[in-house]
């Protein structure tokens, strides 16, 4: 057993220590400063559960829980892999970046939890069920077609529906066993053009999508995200009706800071909130909690029409105190499950990785030839997070083969990585970048954004090396810095500063990732001794 133990770091924005006791302070938005988009939430008793999107990652459709709507922790994933096809395996030059599964719906009905999603990658609608959302197994029901950005809804009369679409919103009735659309059931457009709520001259922009349907005091309320044609301003649209099939009337419910898409949720003591998300630069799309009050049968969002930055709920934990991000000593036995913080970039090849094959290490063995890191299988990832985050790893590279690359990446289309390269029997430490670069210490120049370049290389004559990546998201700075060490004491910055950029092809915030891939001969392997993450930057930036 390794002796490393992460010290508890108490964030000043979340809590202060008074007389040895932890004193909570009001929570601030975003409630999770990380990539947790397309949120869908429910309350069961005094516990809240939230589903979100992780698209091409495996396992997927993460489920979190909270007791106060601001302190969240991971409890499960609805699926291990969405499907087994070339895109999700990254075979034949294909991939599922920015695809996979999107915008889930989460429900609790008659003792069963339902997490549903849809996928252009599988071409199907997926519904996952369990009676134990925190530790039970999920069962899958799938059918075609893929119903875009749907909201699953169980009505009081026992009938079950989905609302789906973009701009033109359609209500369909499902079979009682949820195995498909009910023949002869309700199948009706209930909102012809959601964006008309902005005015006829503003139709366009982001068409109303991300449906969430709920029923309050006998009325049906449908939430959507949209933006007007003249400006990219993500907004909350809301329609209401006395009958699920309509007619619906609507209004723009919130247009502030781009905070939109999500659901209404109440507390046991009768308060109401909207759990939404905001585009938050390169860290991704982050959840916001917005207070709601009711006037004349309409939910009124925010404070004076604004999404407040401070919420009157006590926050007692930092992100590092949750399990959404986590250090890992890799000191488990073979076959033990990975901590929930980890997700694979696409479907893993489980025959080519192990924990415990070498005691206390995570091993990646190359199994095929890849031309770039973005096509490599078995990249093990975790979210980066704000306002700042830093990850460190130790690698044994003694068993690499010629043409191999192994190290740590800030993963997005415009990635940056620090790694070991094996070329003609000689090893070197390399900083690679596919982003807009700023000249750093020893950087050899600038490269066009999106074009992978080996920015700097230094010889390596030993088998053990340490890597570190710092991410700075303060004030949307969105910069990443890369380091190496030969002794875990003296650190050297390498290559260029990566100007991180949230790109639509990947449609995901930056992630830290551990990788090993071959460009010439498969079969080499590397051993990662640990992965350690903190909310402090190095003092070398």
Render pLDDT for 336-347 as a digit per residue (tens, 0 to 9): 999 999 999 999
Is the pLDDT at 9 greater than 80? The verdict is: no
Q: What is the pLDDT of residue 443?
A: 33
3 state DSSP class of 48: strand
pLDDT in tens, 190-216: 999 999 999 999 998 999 999 999 999
Distances in Å between the Cα of 304 and the Cα atoms of 266, 277, 278, 288, 420 are 20, 19, 19, 16, 54
Taking residues 346-353, what's their average pLDDT?
98
3 state DSSP class of 474: helix
Q: What is the pLDDT of residue 48?
A: 98
Average pLDDT, the chain: 93
Taking residues 484-506, what's their average pLDDT?
96
pLDDT in tens, 405-433: 999 999 999 999 999 999 999 999 999 99
Q: In the block, which residue shows the tokens 């040895």?
A: 20
Is the pLDDT at 8 greater than 90? The verdict is: no
Is the pLDDT at 19 greater than 50? The verdict is: no
Is the pLDDT at 16 greater than 60? The verdict is: no
Q: Which fold has domain 15-321?
A: Tachylectin-2; Chain A (2.115.10)
Q: In the block, which residue shows the tokens 């990975």?
A: 338
Higher pLDDT, 428 or 435: 428
pLDDT in tens, 30-88: 999 999 999 999 999 999 999 999 999 999 999 999 999 999 999 999 999 999 999 99
Q: Given CATH 1.10.260.40, say whether it is the number of domain 343-534.
A: no
Q: Would you state the structure tokens that stand for residue 424, as one six-digit string?
A: 């003609």
pLDDT in tens, 101-144: 999 999 999 999 999 999 999 999 999 999 999 999 999 999 99
Is the pLDDT at 17 greater than 50? The verdict is: no
Taking residues 486-503, what's their average pLDDT?
97
Taking residues 316-334, what's their average pLDDT?
95
CB count in 10 Å sphere of residue 440 = 20
What is d(CA 205, CA 226) in angstroms, rounded to the nearest whole number? 7
Q: What is the pLDDT of residue 539?
A: 79
Q: What is the pLDDT of residue 538?
A: 86
The answer to whether 308 touches 273, Cβ cutoff 8 Å, is no
Q: What is the pLDDT of residue 442?
A: 33
What is d(CA 537, CA 534) in angstroms, rounded to the nearest whole number? 8
Is the pLDDT at 10 greater than 50? The verdict is: no
Taking residues 238-255, what's their average pLDDT?
98
For 222-272, the three-class secondary structure string (H helix, E strand, C coil) is EEEEECCCCCCCCEEEEEEECCCCCCCEEEEEECCCCCEEEEEEECCCCCE
Is the pLDDT at 4 greater than 70? The verdict is: no
Question: How much of the chain, in percent, has pLDDT values that exceed 90?
Answer: 90
Is the pLDDT at 541 greater than 70? The verdict is: no
User: What does pTM read for this prediction?
Assistant: 0.93
Q: What is the pLDDT of residue 450?
A: 56
Taking residues 363-373, what's their average pLDDT?
97
With cut-offs at 50, 70 and 90, classify the pLDDT of residue 157. Answer: very high
pLDDT in tens, 389-404: 999 999 999 999 999 9
With cut-offs at 50, 70 and 90, classify the pLDDT of residue 332. Answer: very high
Q: Would you state the structure tokens that stand for residue 51, as one six-digit string?
A: 């589903």
Where do the domains of the chain lie? 15-321, 343-534
Give the long-range contacts of residues 399-403, CB within 8 A, separation 24 or more.
399/524, 399/525, 399/526, 399/527, 400/427, 400/516, 400/524, 400/525, 400/526, 401/366, 401/518, 401/520, 401/521, 401/522, 401/523, 401/524, 402/520, 402/521, 403/518, 403/519, 403/520, 403/521
Taking residues 265-286, what's their average pLDDT?
98
Taking residues 252-261, what's their average pLDDT?
97
Q: In the block, which residue shows the tokens 């206390």?
A: 360
Higher pLDDT, 446 or 28: 28
């Amino acid at each position: 057993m390794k002796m490393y133990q992460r010290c508890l770091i108490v964030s000043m924005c979340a809590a202060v220590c008074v007389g040895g006791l932890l004193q909570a302070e009001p929570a601030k938005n975003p409630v999770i400063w990380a990539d947790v988009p397309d949120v869908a939430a429910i309350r069961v008793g005094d516990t809240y559960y939230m589903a979100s999107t992780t698209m091409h990652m495996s396992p997927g459709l993460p489920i979190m829980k909270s007791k106060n709507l601001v302190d969240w922790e991971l409890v499960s994933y609805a699926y291990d892999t969405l499907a087994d096809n070339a895109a999700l395996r990254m075979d034949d030059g294909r991939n599922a970046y920015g695809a996979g599964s999107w915008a889930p719906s989460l429900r609790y009905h008659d003792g069963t939890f339902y997490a549903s999603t849809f996928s252009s990658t599988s071409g199907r609608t997926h519904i996952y069920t369990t009676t134990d959302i925190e530790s039970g197994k999920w069962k899958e029901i799938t059918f075609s077609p893929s119903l875009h950005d749907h909201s699953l809804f169980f009505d009081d009369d026992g009938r079950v529906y989905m609302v789906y679409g973009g701009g033109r919103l359609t209500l369909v009735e499902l079979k009682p066993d949820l195995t498909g659309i009910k023949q002869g059931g309700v199948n009706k457009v209930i909102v012809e053009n959601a964006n008309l709520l902005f005015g006829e001259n503003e139709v366009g922009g982001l068409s109303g999508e991300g449906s969430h349907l709920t029923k309050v005091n006998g009325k049906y309320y449908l939430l959507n995200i949209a933006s007007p044609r003249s400006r990219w301003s993500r907004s909350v649209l809301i329609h209401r009706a006395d009958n699920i099939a309509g007619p619906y009337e609507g209004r723009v419910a919130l247009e502030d800071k781009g905070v939109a898409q999500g659901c209404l949720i109440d507390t046991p003591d009768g308060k109401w909130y909207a759990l939404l998300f905001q585009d938050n630069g390169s860290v991704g799309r982050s959840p916001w909690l917005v207070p709601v009050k009711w006037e004349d049968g309409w939910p009124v969002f925010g404070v004076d029409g604004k999404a407040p930055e401070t919420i009157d709920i006590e926050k007692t934990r930092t992100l590092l105190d949750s399990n959404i991000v986590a250090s890992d000593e890799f000191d488990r036995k073979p076959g033990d499950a990975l901590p929930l913080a980890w997700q694979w970039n696409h479907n893993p090849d489980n025959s080519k990785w192990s924990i415990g094959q070498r005691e206390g290490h995570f091993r990646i063995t190359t199994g095929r030839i890849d031309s770039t890191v973005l096509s490599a299988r078995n990249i093990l990832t975790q979210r980066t997070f704000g306002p700042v985050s830093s990850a460190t790893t130790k690698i044994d590279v003694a068993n690499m083969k010629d043409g191999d690359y192994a190290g740590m990446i800030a993963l997005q289309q415009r990635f940056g990585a620090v790694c070991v390269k094996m070329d003609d029997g000689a090893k070197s430490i390399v900083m690679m970048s596919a982003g807009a670069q700023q000249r750093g210490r020893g950087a050899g120049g600038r490269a066009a954004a999106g074009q992978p370049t080996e920015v700097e290389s230094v010889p390596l004559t030993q088998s053990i090396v340490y890597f570190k990546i710092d991410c700075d998201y303060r004030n949307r700075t969105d910069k990443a810095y890369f380091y190496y060490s030969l002794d875990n004491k003296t650190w050297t910055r390498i290559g260029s500063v990566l100007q991180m950029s949230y790109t639509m092809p990947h449609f995901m915030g930056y992630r830290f990732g551990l990788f090993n891939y071959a460009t010439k001969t498969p079969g080499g392997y590397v051993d990662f001794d640990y992965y350690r993450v903190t909310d402090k930057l190095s003092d070398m930036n």
